[in-house]
Amino acid sequence: MIKIAPSILSADFAHLGRDIQRISDADYVHVDVMDGLFVPNISIGIPVVKCIRPVTDLPLDVHLMIDRPVRYVEQFCDAGGDLITCHVEADTEENIHSAIVKIHAKGKKAGVVVKPKTPASAVLPFINEVELILVMTVEPGFGGQKFMADMMPKVQEIRRYIDAMNPACELEVDGGVDPVTCKLCTASGANVLVAGSSVYKAEDIPARIRELRG
Ligand code: DX5
Ligand code: ZN
């Protein structure tokens, strides 16, 4: 069963509650948090997560594109995040482990994310501890970029690791996912698809979500 996580980065922030209700057929709400340091863009943070928590029953998938995320993971859990993902490039291995421990102590799910240039093996120190691994299929920072099909061997490699070491772990992809590229992702073993512009630009959002789910 393929899950869809629309990214609200492509929503209209002046009508965020309405735009979250438009994706009620999805499986997660993907929330992109950017700090202007880890990525060259600034988006939204803790107060916005707190405000969107009551407007949906869907779990909030909070993608932290921030430097040293261990500093903030507990606050994102308290704000209402259900699944918190941290980039392996954003801190030391020890601090990423601490971030995962802190997220679990709050009763929430934890995940790790890899940027396009980071090898699949970078997830190995964390694979037994996390509920989800996210593979970026664009350079993080902006919605609407072109899908990097050359990330598919990495998705396949991480799928093999997951099947061997932690079969319950979900495998998510993020960036440039549309009704064509989604097929490459699922064929490579991803089971959660983030989609920003392809969902929010669709005339019929529920139909687009069904199309992406395949
Ligand atoms: C990029 C973000 C993505 C982005 C995806 O840094 O992590 O979640 O919103 O947008 P699309 O689907 O338009 O590539
Ligand atoms: Zn994202």
ipTM: 0.99
What is the pLDDT tens value at each position of the chain, 214 positions in all? 999 999 999 999 999 999 999 999 999 999 999 999 999 999 999 999 999 999 999 999 999 999 999 999 999 999 999 999 999 999 999 999 999 999 999 999 999 999 999 999 999 999 999 999 999 999 999 999 999 999 999 999 999 999 999 999 999 999 999 999 999 999 999 999 999 999 999 999 999 999 999 9
The confidence score (pLDDT) of residue 159 equals 99
Q: Is 141 annotated as a binding residue?
A: yes
The whole-model pTM stands at 0.98
| Ligand 1 atom having least distance to the Cα of 195 | 12
| Domain chopping of the chain, boundaries | 3-213
Q: 111 CA to middle of ligand 2, Å? A: 12
- Predicted local distance difference test score (pLDDT) of residue 72: 98
**CATH homologous superfamily for the domain 3-213:** Aldolase class I (3.20.20.70)
pLDDT at residue number 150: 98
Report pLDDT for 51: 98
pLDDT score at 93: 98
For residue 67, say whether it is annotated as part of any ligand binding site: no
Q: Is 214 annotated as a binding residue?
A: no
Instruction: Report the distance separating Cα 152 and Cα 190, nearest Å.
Output: 9
Is 32 considered catalytic here?
Answer: yes
Task: Considering the candidates 27, 35, 61, 174, report the single residue annotated as catalytic.
Answer: 174
Residue 31: its pLDDT value, please?
A: 99
CA dihedral 109, 27, 81, 119 (to 10 degrees): 60
Task: Give the per-residue pLDDT at 106.
Answer: 99
> Is 57 a catalytic site residue?
no
Pick from 72, 46, 62, 53: which is nearest to 9 by CA? 62
Q: Which residues line ligand 1 (CB under 6 A)?
A: 7, 9-10, 30, 32, 63, 138, 140-145, 174-177, 194-198
pLDDT of 113 reads: 99
For residue 142, say whether it is annotated as part of any ligand binding site.
yes
CA of 165 to the centre of ligand 2 (A): 25
Taking the centre of ligand 1 as the mean of its atom positions, its distance from the CA of residue 121, in whole angstroms, is 23
Ion ligand 2 residues within 5 Å by Cβ? 32, 63, 174
The pLDDT assigned to 152 comes to 99
